[in-house]
Amino acid sequence: MSMNTKFDIIIIGGGPIGLACGIEAKKAGLTYLILEKGALVNSLYNYPVNMTFFSTSERLEIGDVPFMSINPKPTRAEALEYYRRVATKWELTIRLFEKVNGAKAIEGGYEINTSKGQYKAKNVIVSTGFYDIPNLMKVPGEELPKVTHYYKDPNFYAFQKVLVVGASNSAVDAAMETWRKGAEVTMVVREESIGPRVKYWVKPDVENRIKEGSIKAFFNSTVKEITPSTVVINTPDGPQTVENDWVIAMTGYQPNLPFLKELGISLSKDEIMKPKYDEESMETNLPNVYLAGVVCGGMNTHSLFIENSRVHAEQIIASILKKQQ
């Protein structure tokens, strides 16, 4: 592809909402390019292999492509296949494993620099999600190879001593699945109970496992230190040391807010650091630079999901078309 190739729109992020933006751009007859630093719908690819969505399949649909599932709630594998079929059906123009390093304003639009090239576009849509940067515990030993902030396959942890940090859906899934594979599981929960957002068909199960002692849980507790063979936990009864092989720290993730700041997008001054954008057009403080999807919520990553941010694609393309009139 020529270094001087120009597009009406560059879409940064090839997740479900980025794909939805590409579909709307194509329907409107606009030239576009989707740039994704990883695999297609990379965040979904990095979900645990056995993950089940909270939403029903129809609420995850984009591009008027039916999402057929054999389950009441679709699985990660079904979602990956669905969005691949969407990209195929719409013949979306997408470049995978191409990271956007930056963008700068030029006459008539923006110049986007990537790991593989350089592009120019009149408009830029940032749809980068929030799964890239884990919230660190910031404790000694967190950098050890035994510690991970991403959980994939429970079989890896069979017959091991596993410590799971957190009480959200991802933490509960990791605890329950590794326990079922024979792991000795300990949970460290900052709050006094399992999180209220945990899937309703899972929450009673983990609470019963804790109650019967199959899974040990320290509530109102935090990790103090990690060593190659142990974890020290701050508990209401004082520090507790447990033997340990692996730490799965499901402490949440955050959007790449430094990237937004580098682009010049304003963020709120509070701890949410919500990007500044128009709720109707999704345009930021930068002319012709738009936000779509979960990234719009800043650190409040529980406010937006696929099902309630699909509409962003239509709002953005409508704004771009209006400007062209």
Provide the residue type at 101 as one letter: N
Q: Give tens-digit pLDDT for 49-63.
A: 999 998 899 999 999
Residue 61 lies in a domain: yes
Clarify whether residues 119 and 166 are in a common domain: no
Q: Flag whether pLDDT at 246 surpasses 70.
A: yes
Indicate the number of domains in the chain. Answer: 2
Structural domain harbouring 161: 136-249
Query: Does 168 lie in the same domain as 209?
Result: yes
pLDDT at 2: 42
- Has this prediction a pTM greater than 0.85? yes
Closest to 92 in 3D by CA, of 142, 41, 163, 149: 41
Identify whether residues 127 and 149 lie together within a single domain. Answer: no
User: What is the CB neighbour count within 10 angstroms for residue 239?
Assistant: 11
Q: Which residues pair with 242 in a beta bridge?
A: 231
The last residue of one of the domains, among 217, 249, 281, is: 249
pLDDT at 138 over 80: yes
Q: Which amino acid is located at 35 in the chain?
A: L
Domain termination residue (choose one: 228, 249, 270): 249
> Average pLDDT of 142-169?
97
Whether 1 and 313 have beta carbons less than 8 Å apart is answered as: no
Vertex 139 angle, CA 137 and 144, to 5°: 95
Whether the per-residue pLDDT at 325 is higher than 90: the answer is: no
1 lies in some domain: no
Quick one: pLDDT at residue 120?
97
Q: Is residue 1's pLDDT more than 60?
A: no
Average pLDDT, rounded, for the chain: 95
